[in-house]
Structure formats: C-alpha cells, structure tokens
Amino acid sequence: MNIKQPEPAPVLAAWRALNLCNHPERRPTLCCHVVLANGEPACGLDGGNWVAAYTPEPAERVPEDARCQRHGCKERWPAPVYK
C-alpha cells in the first residue's frame, strides 16, 4: 500500500525593521524572524506589524548569524543552504 504524505509547508522568515525598535542605535544589525501562518513572528516579539514591510522569504536562505535565537524562532529554523 502506497500512502502519500503531504509536503510540509515551507518555513518563511522576515527581517525586522530597525525603525520599529525602541533603541535602534543599540542594535545596528538586523535580525530575521520565523514568520507563522498568521503573519506573527514565532518568538512573539512586538507583534507582526513590522513584518508587513518585508516580503517573507524562504528561511533556508537566511545566514545563521542573522537568525533570531529567541524561544519560538530558534526551534523552527531549518538547516541553512550553502552555495
């Protein structure tokens, strides 16, 4: 018997805009967050209104040093794709 498993949904990520930080001068680099199906960041940070400014992209393309390491995002990151 051949059972077809549905393909898992792709993991998407979006960058956080510095102008939506409380103190952008303290965090000069951008951090990328995993985006849930409802458009919210997986770590629950600041709601999803900052995600609307950025088009979500495949999470595999995000460099490891730019990935959010908060609980929620950290567990959902897929293995990076190296060129």
Alpha helices in the chain (DSSP H): none
Q: Where are the domains of the chain?
A: 12-76
Rounded distance, CA 31 to CA 42, Å?
Answer: 13
pTM greater than 0.75:
no
pLDDT at 74: 94
**pLDDT tens string for the chain (83 positions)?**
677 777 777 899 988 766 555 555 555 567 888 998 888 889 887 655 565 567 889 999 998 988 989 999 999 999 877 65
pLDDT at 26: 57
pLDDT at 81: 74
